[in-house]
Structure formats: C-alpha cells, structure tokens
Amino acid sequence: ARRSLAGGISSPARLTSTGPHPYPLYLREGSGARVRDVDGNEYIDHLISYGCAVLGHASPLLAGALAPLLTTGTMFGTCTTEEVELAERIEAMVPCAELVRFANSGSEAVQGAVRAARGFTGRSLVLKFEGHYHGWSDTLAVSNRPTPEQAGPAAAPRSVPHSPGIPPGVVDDVVVCPWNDPDALRTVLAAHRGRLAAVICEPIVANNACTMPAPGCLELLRELCTAYGVPLIFDEVCTGFRTGPGGAQGLYQVVPDLAVFAKALGGGVPIAAFAGRRALMEPLAEGRVKHGGTYNASPLCATAALTTLRALADPATTGWMEEAGRRIMAAVRRAAHDRGVPCAVQGVGAMFQVVFTPDGAPTRNYRELLAADRGRYDVFRHELLRRGVHVNAYGAACWFVAAAVTEDEVAATCAAVDGAFAA
C-alpha cells in the first residue's frame, strides 16, 4: 500500500542497479543505521550503501572532517598531505601493505593490482574463482556468475564463460577455478605453471553469499602461490577494514602479495586503494608500470578515508560491528530452527548472508549457491522490509552492519527476523 515515486519515473538503469525491490526504494535521508524513503517510511539499514557507509549514514565524524574543506578548497593535481597520511595509515593497518596507490572505485583498484602483478611477472594470465566478483572490467567481470552448465567442479582448466556483450577473445587471459577445492586448484596451477601473472580471490566471498574459506584453504592458496612464484591478490573491497582493522588478512593471518580496498575505506565517499609488497609496487612508484587518475585520493576523499580509518583502527569499533552482527545472525538461526526451515547463516558479524540451502548447510562454492532457494530469500527480505528492516536484495551478496547501529536497532532487527519467519 506504500506509495512510491517509481510509478511516475521511467529509470530502468537505476532500477536494475538497485535490485529487484517489491517497489523501487528511493531513499532520501539517513542517520546512523536508519534511512528514510521519499514517502517518509523509516528502515533500519543493513545494506548501508552496499557496505560503504560503515560508520553509519550522515556520520558526524565525517561531516565534521569534510565540512571545512568545502570552504578552504580541495586542491589536487599536486602532492597532498592527506594522501601521504592516508597511505601511512593503510600501511600501519594492513599486513601486506608496504606501498599504497589510490583509485576511485574497487574496479579500478583491482585493475591497478592486476597491472602491478603483470608488470612484475611479465605475464598476463590471471586465475580467478567462480562466484568471486572483482568489479566491472571486461576482463574480470567474466564468470562472476556462471550458468549451472558453466560452473565447476572442473577436472581441468576451462576457458572463461563470457559475460553478455563481451566479444570472445577479449578475455582470453583469465582462467577460472572452483573455490574451496584444493584438487582443482592444484590442477589449474600446475597446468598453467610459468604463465600466471596473478591469482585473485575474495578471502570471504561476499559476492557468493559470504561463503567462508574452508579451513586451511587460504593457507594452501598462499603456499601454492609461493611455490609457483605467482603473486596472490586478496580483493578486500568488502572485507577491508571491516572484519577487523587488518581486514581478512588480519583475521586469518594469511598475508597476500597485493590487496585491494574500497567501500568501507571511504565511509561512503568514492575512494579505493591497492597496496602490497614493495617489490610489486615499486615499478608503479618508478613509473615503469603506469597507474593514474585525476581524482585519485583527492583531499576530500582522502580526508573521508582518513577519518573513517581512524575510527576503524579502534578494535572497539570493529568489535561492536562484529558483536551486533553476531546477535542478528543468532536470531536468524534461532528463528529458522524454531520453524524448521533449512537455512544457513554464513559470514562474520560485520558482513553475512542468509542462504536457504536445501539442507541448511553453509555453501562452499558457487555450485552450492545455485542450489539455494532464491525465491524464499526474496520472500524473507520482503517480510523484513515490511517490518522496517532493509537488507540486500540479492541473495548472492550480503548484509553489512554499520558501526553506528544501536543495541535497540539490533534488538528490533532480531524481532523483525522472528516476525518474518513467522509470516
């Protein structure tokens, strides 16, 4: 019965990019973990702008830091102190970060990291994993969500399924491997010995419904990449500074050669970074490998990132996100158990997803996600929306918890979860 502007607006691109809501949701204002739509309906928000508004919407910290810049000017094109300070902070927080470069989006920063690896190795082939998403470049967008026929398990390396609109031949420099599958990994690495420029993965697969790494999987990946002399890239666009101050590499104590950051880094302002071992990054510093971008770490965005990272460097901040998310995860498990609904709640507190797998077991790879009941997820999140809780519309992506979420909002989310399952 809720009205929406959408009836009078023809905006297919926008609707596609915001996902299949029961009605298009036009949000007008937000504060902390709350958002209000154009009709005045209020929601507790566990999408937080696809994970970007990690401190919460309209963060007073960010407002206080950014407002003065709008009157003093935000000059760039020369060296800026903000950029240097931000690089130093990232180096202090992230285990693999000896040198840092900046970009404007996760997709661009992924390209920067891949280029650094290609420049370092002199090779072009990249190994990625099914269901892992690394942005919208022609090369790495492929095979993000292969069809059931295209998905693994793969006994041997396969060519890459092309995304619609990408001509064959453009993406021949990528091979794809099933995730959490040591045998397939060994096979693919051996088959491409001496040809791989990089192996790239999402350490927690936010874009495969927060699939967790199987025990020992990241360690094996690290070991094999070292043995084969292939740079390992962690795409920490979702996990970075969120699953703890050191991201996934801090959480799992597995250190890649390069890592990519965006989303939480800017607290909602567009900024991204890639960082890594000195040997791989130095060619960029020396200009032997090129990386540019007019807006990279512009003072406005770098200040937003510095302010956000100062907050996230405090373990109490990420600790509360973890605790708040764990309470919601527990509520989903309890509600599902009480009603006898098979359901996996997977991820960590700060980012997780609810997946209606046939037997309630967590997914290990893309193929298992394909077997989950997406329709049921859709019903679930519609029922949540009705109860004033806004979550990701895509069952394949995940929920994000803002540091600003309050005890009351967590409790209200848990109650809405119970009501949604009852309905």
Nearest distance, CB of residue 105 and ligand PMP, angstroms: 4
Which of these ranges, 133-141, 224-232, 289-297, 342-350, lies near ligand PMP under the rule CB under 6 A?
A: 133-141
Catalytic residue, chosen from 235, 257, 366, 377, is: 235
Reduced to 3 states (helix: H, G, I; strand: E, B; else coil), residue 212 is coil
Distance, in Å, from the CA atom of 398 to the CA atom of 379, rounded to the nearest integer, reads 16
Choose the binding region for ligand PMP from 36-44, 201-209, 250-258, 386-394 (rule: CB under 6 A). Answer: 201-209
Q: By CB under 6 A, tell whether 130 contacts ligand PMP.
A: no
Asked if 174 interacts with ligand PMP (CB under 6 A), we say: no
SS3 (DSSP) at 29: strand
Interacting span for ligand PMP (CB under 6 A) from 131-139, 220-228, 347-355, 357-365: 131-139
Closest CA to 409 of 333, 325, 345, 350: 325
Given the structure tokens 């204002």, which residue do they identify?
29
Q: Is 235 annotated in the active site?
A: yes
Q: Map the footprint of ligand PMP across residues 246-285, applying CB under 6 A.
A: 262
Residue 141 token pair? 């967008």
Q: Which is nearer to ligand PMP, 205 or 336 (CB)?
A: 205
Strand 125-129 versus strand 196-201 pairing type:
parallel
Has 23 been annotated as catalytic? no
For ligand PMP, which is the closer residue by CB, 177 or 206? 206
Structure tokens at 333: 């498990």
Q: What is the DSSP string of 111-159?
A: HHHHHHHHHHHS--EEEEETT----S-TTTSTTSS--TTT----SS-BP
Residues from 320 through 339 that contact ligand PMP (CB under 6 A): none
List, edge to edge, every strand of the sheet that includes 344-348.
Answer: 344-348, 351-355, 399-400
Residue 411 CB, nearest approach to ligand PMP (Å): 29
Where does this chain touch ligand PMP (CB under 6 A) — which range of 75-83, 104-112, 224-232, 346-354? 104-112
Least Å distance between CB 125 and ligand PMP? 20
Cα–Cα separations (whole angstroms), residue 167 to 124, 162, 174: 18, 8, 14
In the complex with ligand PMP, the residue whose CB is nearer, 136 or 228, is 136
CB of 134 to ligand PMP, least distance (A): 5
Q: CB of 107: closest distance to ligand PMP in angstroms? A: 3
Separation between Cα atoms, residue 118 and residue 120, nearest integer Å? 5
Catalytic residue among 133, 252, 366, 377: 133
Q: Is 228 a catalytic residue?
A: no
Largest Cα span, the chain: 61
Nearer to ligand PMP, 62 or 110 (CB): 110
Residue of 244, 396, 257, 379 lying closest to 322 (CA atoms): 244
Q: What are phi and psi of 382, to 5 degrees?
A: -65, -45
Q: Which of 82, 83, 130, 202 binds ligand PMP (CB under 6 A)?
A: 202
Q: Is the distance from CB of 303 to CB of 69 less than 8 angstroms? A: yes
Q: Residues in contact with ligand PMP, total (CB under 6 A)?
A: 15
CA distance 334 to 35: 27
Omega of the bond prior to 60 within 30 degrees of 0, cis?
Answer: no
- Please tell me which residue in 50, 263, 366, 377 is annotated as part of the active site: 263
CB 297 within 8 A of CB 103: no
Residue type, 6: A
How far is Cα of residue 201 from the mean position of the Cα atoms in its chain? 11
Q: Does 107 bind ligand PMP (CB under 6 A)?
A: yes
Among 127, 141, 188, 206, binds ligand PMP (CB under 6 A): 206
* Choice from 41, 74, 105, 406 touching ligand PMP (CB under 6 A): 105
Is 133 a binding residue for ligand PMP by CB under 6 A? The answer is: yes
Closer to ligand PMP by Cβ: residue 76 or 133: 133
- The residues that touch ligand PMP, with contacts defined as CB under 6 A, are 105-107, 110, 133-136, 202, 206-207, 235, 237-238, 262
Residues assigned a catalytic role: 133, 235, 263
